[in-house]
Structure 1
């Protein structure tokens, strides 16, 4: 990969910069014949185009003269950087070597919802999301006590057989929804029934 794209808390030294990507070097290598340094990946990509010369001074290049620059590597990775999410509010500052460990626990790092609801959000918001927003969070029906996901609950509400409801005919009766159908057809005083004489439909409580 090319140079380090971190936000450095310390001043970036010019000698750290790769002449090819212009970023602090990642895995720096040095051409010992001329002393120029580059990111290992940047130099390999340059040479892969068939140009076997130093990108800086154009001198002929021998692969055997390219070595990892351990001293430069140590100097760069022990420099302090800010968290990748510092613009979001994270104030962490430490060495480059500790950044990845920090990001694994940083509360501003985006994470996938563990319920697989497709939401991508920061760890800071995860608890609130799981409790109040996630469409797959578990909840309990207040009427029948069944536990289900919130997206199922949206369909369950308004159809739970254990919910207490009023008769749709506005007779004033109240009952569990599971008894509503029988009440409407056979018991409700406001149900419509045919007149035994003319066959027309009338409210049950208006017939003699």
Structure 2
């Protein structure tokens, strides 16, 4: 009964409970059945002070909050209570205990900002895999040798002059009709044989 209203007959009611009865002009007290006018119902400041000074526990007592205070201080406490569930400040949609918000924002929140880890870009955590899918500095496993290579260097790695030992290479005599394709070691042996045969022919 935060807003106690007293009737002419001396009974107390909640403001929210008694007001709907006054729409009819004259009301009948639900306790003693005495008829009275709306003007005869008034706010009882004495009772309000008494009620608001009652000692109460925090709404979050079962969750561990030890606060105990006057009812008048309840709303102020609820605005700062560490055990109250509040919506994430990053608007990820999660309800989080207020005292755990810092941890949530740094470690759990899907909308937190994180460094890519490969380039100097800051990305939203839930989109980091999308970013990694196009990040030029992301390390990929070479499909031929399995070595980790930065995405932007992959084409060079598997090229003819690259460092991949297993990437398929065309024979340097392919314009002369040679169809051989092999890795770097196989190509070295193949070319040596071709050169040997050419030497024998000429």
TM-score range, shorter chain: 0.7 to 0.9
On the 8 A contact 2:52/2:71 being kept in 1, the answer is yes
User: Structure 2 matches for 1:1-16, cutoff 5 A?
Assistant: none
Listed as ranges, the matches of 1:1-208 within 5 Å are 25-32=1-8, 34-48=9-23, 52-157=27-132, 159-170=134-145, 175-186=149-160, 187=162, 188-194=164-170, 196=174, 197=177, 199=179, 201-207=181-187, 208=190
Partner Cα separation in structure 1 for residue 139 and residue 34 of structure 2? 88
How far apart are residue 79 of structure 1 and its match? 0.7
Contact 2:25 2:38 in 1 (8 A): no
Partners of 1:177 and 1:92 in 2: how far apart?
A: 56
Q: Distance in 1 between matches of 2:155 and 2:41?
A: 85
Query: Compared with structure 1, are the counterparts of its residues 37 and 168 closer, same or farther at alpha carbon in structure 2 (3 Å cutoff)?
Result: same
- Pick the structure with more helix per residue: 2
Deviations 1:63-101 (A, max 9, x none): 121111111111100111111111111110111111111
Q: Deviations over 1:16-39 (max 9, x none)?
A: xxxxxxxxx23111112x211111
Distance 1:35 1:171, change over 3 A: closer
Equivalent residue number for residue 20 of structure 1 = none
TM-score using structure 1 length? 0.76
Helix, strand or coil at the partner of 1:52: strand
CA contact (8 A) 1:171 1:189 kept: no
Structure 1 position 137, deviation (Å):
1.2
Number of residue pairs aligned between Structure 1 and Structure 2: 182
Q: CA RMSD in A?
A: 2.4
Q: Which runs of 5+ in 1 are unaligned?
A: 1-24
Structure with higher Rg: it is: 2
Instruction: Find runs of 4+ consecutive structure 1 residues off by over 6 angstroms.
Output: none
In the TM superposition, residue 52 of structure 1 has moved relative to its aligned partner by 2.2
8 Å CA contact 1:83–1:90 kept in 2: the answer is: yes
Q: 5+ unaligned residues in a row in structure 2: which ranges? A: 191-202
Where 1:43 maps in the other structure, the secondary structure is: helix
Structure 1 distance, partners of 2:53, 2:80, is: 20
Higher relative contact order (CA 8 A, sep 6+): 1
